[in-house]
Structures are given as C-alpha cells and as structure tokens.
Amino acid sequence: MQSPIDFLSQVDDILKEKTSDLISLRRELHAHPELSHKEYETTSMLAATLKDIGFDVYVREEGTGFYADLIPEDFDPAVDPTVAIRTDIDALPIKELNEVPYASQNDGVMHACGHDVHMTVATGAGMAISEIREQLTGRLRLLYQHAEEVSPGGAVDMVSFGAIEGVDAVLALHCDPELEVGRIGVREGNLTAAFDSFCIKIIGKSGHGARPHHCTDPVRVATQVANALYQMTSQYFDSRDPVVLSLGSIHAGDSPNVIPEVATMQGTLRTLSKESRERLEPVLQKVVGGICMAHGANFELEIEHGAPSVVNDPKVIGIIEQIGRDFLGDDGIYEIPLPSMGGEDFSYYLQHAPGAMFRLGTAGPGPRARHFLHSSKFDIDERAIGIGSRILARSALEVMAQLSNGELALERPRRMPIHEGIAE
C-alpha cells in the first residue's frame, strides 16, 4: 500500500489534469443557481456526477441535498475510519450584476457566497480520490447540503437523514474574498459565532395622533427599547466575551395620523460562548419587560435559535494547516486572529464528529475578484479552485491515514449504522 505522500502526489497530478473541467463545472453551477430548499437541478446534476465516478449516492426524499460514499472493497465500518467533506449548494436572492459569460441565468438568484466554488472544490477532491479508491484506508463521504443560507439551516435535515452517522472527522472550507488567492485562513477553536434571531412585539393602545394622552404609543416605547438593546450588551455581558445585537427591522402602523396598536422589532444575536448565549433570553425579558411596564405596554418576545458556533478541532485544523504549508509555503498561511461573528451551520456536524473549516483565499489581482460575500458583483479568481481541491483532498487523505494507523486520536462519536437509504 502506498504512503500518504504518494497519495498526495497522485492527487496533485489528477487535479492538474482536471483544472479546466473543474472551472467549467464551477461556471455551470454559477450560471444556474437555486434558492434554499429548491436546489433540485443542482442536486440531480451533482448526484449523477458522483454516481458516474463510483460513489454510492443517497438523496433526500425531498430531492434537495444528498451524501455520497466512496468505499474501498475491504472497508470495515467497525474499525476503518470515515472522513467527510461538507459543501453547501444553495444560492441567494440577489440579482447578479457581473457581466461575464457564466453570469446567473436565473434572474434574481445568484451564487454570491461562493457555494458554487465550494461544490466544485468538494467534487474535485472526490474525483481525484476516486481514482485511487483501491488504496484508500477508509471511507470518503461527500456531503452536499441544501439550505445553508436560511435558518434553521439544511444541516439539521442532513443530520436527521443520517449524513453524519459513522463519520470520524468532517472537513469544510469557505471562500474568503478578503484573502488573496494562494493563501488559506486557519484558526483553532471558535471560527464563527452562534446565531439567533428575535422578534419583539410591543403592544400598546391605538388611537388618534392628535390625542396621544388617550393612547399607549408602542412606537415611543419601541424607540426606548431599541436604545436599551444597543446598550444591553455592554451593560450585562463581559466585553471580553463578544455579544453582537443588531436590529434589522422596526415596523409600526400604516397611517401618519394613527397611533398604532403594535410595533414589531426584529434582529439578530451573535455570541461565542455557551454561557452568554444562554443568558440572552432572560436579559432580553428583563430589559424589554422593564421598559414596557414603565409605560403601560405589554410585549411578546420570540427567539429562534440558529446554528451554534463553529469550533475547530485543534488536531484537525492542525493537519489542514500543515497541508497548506507544504503546498503553499509559510506565506500561504493566514492565522485568523479573531473569530467571525457570522453564523455557519457546519457547526451542527461538529456536534456529532470532530472537524474543522478553513478559509480559501479567492481575491484576484483586479477589482472583479475583490467584492465582498453577498455582493451582487461577487466573483473569484478561479485559480482558487485547484488550490481548494488539492488542500481538501490532501487533508482528507492525511486525516484518514492518521486515523487508520493510530497516529491521530480524536474523540469519536458512538458508532452508528450506515444510513439505510436507497442508493440512486
């Protein structure tokens, strides 16, 4: 059996030959984006691609999202490891403004967060590894997750579907247009924040705008609640443990001379620690309740809990970092100093198996490949596709090899049976 070093050399050679094919695949995906929970064609096309190269494919009954297994002949799930690569497949409701041949053909829908790149890179890694299938020391699983851009994200569905069962380590990447192509960003521990959203309804007493003394004005109460919410994070939470509260919507009434009955406020909450996240609801109840009581108003508070924080396993991210250094050199590694306060539902998989996500630099030399994520002009330097595919494939093989020979000890989840789905 060949060593991991031989594996890596073979993978590099295979991916060099497939570079133009992968760029074409990315452009095809970019031109045909689909919104969350509607990724039917994307799922069908990629599932067929994986089946054609020898993967066992399991598609959700809903027709969106699937996972695919590459299993060597002598695989024993009781002793041999399973390493997963996860990618997201949905697009955003954004009208693309790029004037390129592969611009979105679905008006008002765009891959503005790089999911087309994520899919291509994961598929490229799978293509390369499929050509050395006989030499694998474990099972490779590719997770193609729907609905990452909405809450609750599709990761919850995929976990319920059995996509993470039996997985010993899970890897992922995310495009970073603030990082130059040829570099990757790595961070041990918290990479992203936990994400929750809230809705506050302030209920007053409506009436004529000329007689506010006859009313309980929910707009006046809402303005005070809004000010208090923005001060809340520094007043009730340790500044060394970040808590970010943002109001995105305030709505009340439809007529300028009518004091409305209800004012509604919606926003998001982002935290890094479990302790701060658990304290948010009682603090919100206290702050909002106190102001409403003082003005004779009532309120209703609803909190929708989103994805927890992505916490990178130190051993897994360490392997990704070393693979990156070997491939890109020391200058190719950016050690991310602080976690992002954005949310990412890759974290749900990490509740079942250790793993890590890294950032893939996609910024090119010109202005076209330097627009931020979720921009109507987001695009990438396509040299990043080959880099991402190589690092994902190399890292998956290295993690698999180290798990097989006992060099890498991770806290494995309880062994679960392989999902009894129907391979398509």
Residues 137 and 139: their CA atoms lie apart, in Å, by: 7
* Least confident range of 140-154, 194-208, 323-337, 359-373: 359-373
Active-site choice (39, 88, 90, 168)? 90
Q: Which residues are annotated as a binding site for Mn(2+)?
A: 113, 115, 149, 174, 374
Q: With CA atoms as reference, report the closest residue to 126 among 408, 331, 390.
A: 390
What pLDDT, on a 0 to 100 scale, did the predictor assign at position 4?
53
Q: Is 196 a catalytic residue?
A: no
What pLDDT shows up at residue 3? 53
Please give the Cα distance from 397 to 32 (Å, whole number): 31
Place of tokens 């992922």: 172
DSSP 377-412: T----THHHHHHHHHHHHHHHHHHHHHHHTS----P
Through-space distance between the first and last CA atoms of the chain, rounded to whole angstroms: 31
Contact 85, 142 (CB under 8 A): yes
User: 4-190+310-405 architecture in CATH?
Assistant: 3-Layer(aba) Sandwich (3.40)
Exposure class string for 157-171: b at 16+ Cβ within 10 A, else e: bbbebbbbbbbbbbb
Identify the DSSP state of 216: B
Which residues face 358 on adjacent strands?
Answer: 173
Average pLDDT in the 67-79 region?
Answer: 95
Q: Which top CATH class is 194-305? A: alpha beta
| pLDDT value for 222 | 98
Q: Which residues are annotated as a binding site?
A: 113, 115, 149, 174, 374
Could you tell me which of 118, 8, 170, 112 has the C-alpha nearest to residue 385? 118
Which two tokens mark 333? 């590694």
User: Is 178 annotated in the active site?
Assistant: no
Name residue, tokens 């995906």: 29
Tens-place pLDDT, residues 254-301: 999 999 999 999 999 999 999 999 999 999 999 999 999 999 999 999
Which pLDDT belongs to residue 246? Answer: 97
Taking only the tens place, the pLDDT of each residue in 190-248 is: 999 999 999 999 999 999 999 999 999 999 999 999 999 999 999 999 999 999 999 99
- Let me know if the fold of 4-190+310-405 is the same as that of 194-305: no
Cβ density class 14-36: b for 16+ within 10 Å, e for less: bbeebeeebbebbbebbbbbbbb
Residue type for position 293 = M
Domain limits, the chain? 4-190+310-405, 194-305
Considering 39, 148, 313, 321, which one is annotated as catalytic?
148
Q: Is the bond preceding 337 in cis, omega lying within 30 degrees of 0?
A: no
